[in-house]
Amino acid sequence: MHRSGFISIIGRPNVGKSTLLNAIVGEKIAITTHKPQTTRNKIMGIRNLAGTEPGQLIFLDTPGIHRASTPLNRAMVEAATGTFGSVDLLLLIVEAGKAPHPEDRFIIEALGETALPAILVINKIDLVPKPLLLPLIDAFRVLHPFREIIPLSALKGDGVEGLVRQIRDLLPEGPSYFPEEMMTDRSERFIAAEFVREQITLLTHKEIPYSTAVVVDAFKEDEAKNFIRISATIHVAKDSQKGILIGKKGAMLRQIGTKARIEMERFFAAKIFLELFVRVQKDWTTDPRMLREFGYGDGT
């Protein structure tokens, strides 16, 4: 029996949702950093299963759910909760610890309003003593009737394949919705822009990572030479942020570009020429029109 379906990966910021998606798919299609709210958009990742238990698992990695106050943060949360009506299964990711986090409880309360089956994944078990896991599982078990509660380490890959089998068993019989060679629905331009934003998040501090948007202006591929020329603009909200991103004699911008180019060459398996520009777009994070233009929800 071939099973298929859509699975939404949800959870509070920085619990390892994107790391888990990459581990399941076997390819880095979602950027990851140690900072919260790295993921801003819904990203699809596809895992095909062959052999005696065939299937197609279609995952939707979502931004972290939190109590949002700004227009940008509200758009991010709506990208996550908006998947509830279009999936077959919810995958709630939490972080291993001594007790359920208050924000986890906030999300679990929202699950009570949907009839969708849900699996609880306790991630980062490599960071806590094993004796803490059983009490934590028991604490979550009384909060919601999860179909399964699965401890794992997405970063190390421990328990990931067991989770994939559990997900497959809960999906309905169905066809493959996407070609077997397809890993994600996101365009090459989107992925290139995300690699630039990943390096901005890793290399800059304070408000800079949360005040930047990256737009790929040109993506020109020369298949004969296995060469891609990419031009992108980094939009910031203030003049002072532009100076920080460029750095002394352009050092920061060069560092961002070099590291992003390395990630792109790994992903696209081609030689990359990357050109970056920085532009001030005053207060874009609160401008509904600019939020829409940069691809964040409806801008409200």
pLDDT, one tens digit per residue, over 121-139 is 999 999 899 888 999 999 9
| Domain assignment present for 157 | yes
| Domain assignment present for 194 | yes
Q: Are residues 100 and 196 both part of a single domain? A: no
3-state secondary structure of 29: coil
Q: Are residues 150 and 211 both part of a single domain? A: no
Q: Are residues 220 and 279 both part of a single domain? A: yes
Q: How many domains does the chain have?
A: 2
Q: What is the pLDDT of residues 247-257, one digit of tens each?
A: 999 999 999 99
Whether the per-residue pLDDT at 298 is higher than 60: the answer is: no
| pLDDT score for 82 | 67
Q: What CATH number is given to the structural domain containing 232?
A: 3.30.300.20
Whether the per-residue pLDDT at 300 is higher than 70: the answer is: no
Whether the per-residue pLDDT at 38 is higher than 90: the answer is: no
Of 124, 143, 170, the last residue of a domain is: 170
Q: Are residues 33 and 114 both part of a single domain? A: yes
- Structural domain including 104 reads 3-170
Of 170, 202, 226, the last residue of a domain is: 170
Rounded to two decimals, the pTM is 0.86
Q: What CATH number is given to the structural domain containing 111?
A: 3.40.50.300
Q: Taking a C-beta distance cutoff of 8 angstroms, is the pair 161, 20 a contact?
A: no
Whether the per-residue pLDDT at 64 is higher than 60: the answer is: yes
| pLDDT score for 67 | 65
Count Cα neighbours of 282 within 13 Å in the Cβ-side half-sphere: 0
Of 170, 197, 216, the last residue of a domain is: 170
**44 vs 222: CA distance, rounded Å:** 27
